Amino acid sequence: MIADRSFDIRVMTDFLQRNDGAFTRPLSQTLKEQGQTLEDYAEKLCRMGTVAYETDGDAIMGVVIGYTQNLPEDNGSYITQVVTDPKYRRRGVCKRLLAEYFDFCREQNISYVWLTTGVDNHSAQATYEGCGFVLAPCANEKMVKYIYRIR
Ligand SMILES: CC(C)(COP(=O)(O)OP(=O)(O)OC[C@H]1O[C@@H](n2cnc3c(N)ncnc32)[C@H](O)[C@@H]1OP(=O)(O)O)[C@@H](O)C(=O)NCCC(=O)NCCS
């Protein structure tokens, strides 16, 4: 399912809180260093982001969150968060969510989607490569950049 700048802030805050330890580095720690709270961050994602998500009853299984509005001149959409709850991993959740996000971008006439991940995040790299992302040059040697061309 897609929520374009309309995802529920409380549900997002709860999902991020529950999955804080699922990130290579706890998200709350990264946000704290940036002077942001998890609640503020969740609000920004919901108000400005496009959220592809899948549910199991009331539980959010995973999310892919990016920006599809006010894009730069080259019309590329940046994906800022990709997380599947550990309980639901390796069941194709992320693969389906990325495909849904790409479909939404295609409808919006977006040219390409891009994201980055850590050089040590091998599961994310395997996921992105399996979903058709290709490597792109990246100035930061601790990160890997991927692009998926929509059109
Ligand atoms: C990366 C992540 C989002 C993948 O989510 P997922 O829902 O488990 O991924 P999928 O089940 O859709 O996997 C699709 C394919 O990616 C590859 N893949 C996924 N996880 C993998 C792993 N741990 N090791 C190797 N390949 C993996 C496989 O090819 C997989 O297909 P298969 O299970 O049929 O072999 C999940 O591991 C996660 O939330 N990690 C923590 C947060 C994170 O690091 N996010 C990325 C930050 S940029």
Cβ atoms of 31 and 38 closer than 8 Å: yes
Say how many Å lie between the CA of residue 81 and the centre of ligand 1.
13
pLDDT reported for residue 25 = 83
- For residue range 87-143, what is the model confidence (pLDDT) as tens digits? 999 999 999 999 999 999 999 999 999 999 999 999 999 999 999 999 999 999 999
Report the amino acid identity of residue 142: K
Relative to the CA of 98, which ligand 1 atom is closest? Answer: 12
- For residue range 3-49, what is the model confidence (pLDDT) as tens digits? 999 999 999 999 999 999 888 789 999 999 999 999 999 999 999 99
Instruction: Report the candidate in 18, 24, 85 with the shortest Cα–Cα distance to residue 53.
Output: 85
pLDDT reported for residue 23 = 80
Note the pTM of the prediction, 2 decimals.
0.97
Q: Which of 80, 90, 116 to mutate to test the pocket of ligand 1 (most atoms within 8 A of CB)?
A: 90
pLDDT reported for residue 115 = 98
Nearest CA to ligand 1 atom 22: 123
CATH 3.40.630.30 is right for the domain spanning 2-149 = yes
Output phi, psi for 52, to 5 deg: -95, 130
Q: Residue ranges per domain, the chain?
A: 2-149
| Cα–Cα distance measured from residue 34 to residue 21, given in angstroms and rounded to the nearest whole number | 18
Cα-Cα end-to-end distance for the chain: 22
Relative to the CA of 128, which ligand 1 atom is closest? Answer: 16
What is the mean predicted confidence (pLDDT) over 60-76?
97
pLDDT reported for residue 24 = 77
Nearest CA to ligand 1 atom 30: 127
Burial of 140 (0-12, 13-18, 19+ CB in 10 A): exposed
Q: Which residue has the tokens 């590329």?
A: 76
